Structure 1
């Protein structure tokens, strides 16, 4: 903020400059001001501009800590080793300027000024003899802590201010839809879904298709397989010649092959007594 005398000079400068304007400017039709859209070529003789009509704010501070942090950062002082003499002098100069214009605002700044003077006086006091061996406490420690916390909060406030805000960076739109056009969907619970799923499974089982595939089985191949097995063994039990894992079609073809071999007298099917095991062997042929 400029001092009050500088602000007063700034307010009186435009009126004096316009009053002392050369007649050539007025003659050329260049009006120094406009009133209700009409050019004002000559200022009234009784025009009075009050001293408080124009105030120029170069820097706006949020409080004493903000001003103190600004003075430290502007001159690149180490915040952990603040030169109290220079900072206090600059701070008091600013407080003296705002005290002339706004006494209520200066009260808060005067409290910080008293704190700075107290810290400076404590630094100038000599140490007592019994405190020489102990590590002295820096009187600026509390002030440094408050400044660092304030700076962190201020940076966080800048980051939050950069976030888009409603009614500042964007606006929300509202669309009104007629109630009759809004579809009303019925409420569906878990039991309804379960019943619907069961109905689908029931319909799927009713529409199943049984497919019959045709398998090519050769009676001649099974006849050859039976003869090869009987050549290595003298007697083979009837049930051992059938492979149950092959399924019914394989068993049927194998049985037909055995009947064909018996018909052509290539094998013999014998049984010792009723209900005794049935054996199969190659037919005896004289040399």
Structure 2
């Protein structure tokens, strides 16, 4: 009818089944076993069931839409699970905060319109680096290090019991009589006997022969000087000590010559400094002048009290 006005009835848009399931199913968080917090944190949602690290990997690979992740409900479930945790809260909290902050930033930017046309004044300004790209780069780097660690662990397990020797070490072992690798196994009884020989208590070494102290007396050295003067009118001290290397013998011989001088038995002369020391027997007049009537070859004073 031309006079009637048509009234529009609003029609509700159909709700996406995946979104309804994501909103109806509350996320659940549990902590399992693992070395890293993001690996041992298990997340259960309508669209995902697995570790938190895998959730990031799927978002990074664009296999899971970040808009389907209920971050609020996920945070509540995480706090509930954290409240039941009795140990190692710090590592789990720091890991979740770092990951959740990235997810929130990615989701907020995904929900807001991007400025595709710089000339469009109605579009929002898109400033700063893309956090999704930054997270993707971090995850790629993390995967590289993780895969390298797994390969190194497999290689270490494969080489258990194997030891590599450098060529110089192997050559030295060959010179020392080491057995080659392909040699037949030794009898364990030989090893037991070798260990028994090593563990046997060795007898104590024999004591060294007793060293007898060498006695050099002034009387003995004076007798040598007297004997030399009986054979010749004079004797030189340097000639008496020719070939002698013992300093004690040299010192005692010199003391014996001084003692004979004090007893007026001999006269000692040295023409020049550091020159020959010449000794001769005293004459009768020299002994009379010294108040000595007769020279008796009596033992000398070994205490050197006369030199005090």
TM-score (norm 1): 0.31
Name whichever structure is richer in helix by fraction: 1
